[in-house]
Amino acid sequence: MTVLTGCTRTSYAIQTNDGRTIISDGKPSESDAGLLAYTDANGVKQQINKADVKAVSEVPKK
Span 48-58, pLDDT tens digits: 999 999 999 99
Domains contained in the chain, number: 1
Indicate if the pLDDT at residue 7 is higher than 60. no
At 3, the pLDDT band (50, 70, 90 cuts) reads very low
Using a 10 angstrom Cβ sphere, with 0-12 exposed, 13-18 middle and 19 or more buried, the burial of residue 4 is: exposed
SS3 for 40?
A: strand
Q: What pLDDT does residue 4 have?
A: 46
Quick one: the chain helix, strand, coil %, rounded to 5?
5, 50, 45
| Phi, psi dihedrals of residue 52, rounded to the nearest 5° | -90, 0
Residue 5 inside a domain? The answer is no
Task: Give the CATH number for residue 42.
Answer: 2.30.30.100
Q: What pLDDT does residue 33 have?
A: 93
For residue 20, give its domain range.
11-58
Instruction: Render pLDDT for 9-46 as a digit per residue (tens, 0 to 9).
Output: 799 999 999 999 999 999 999 999 999 999 998 999 99
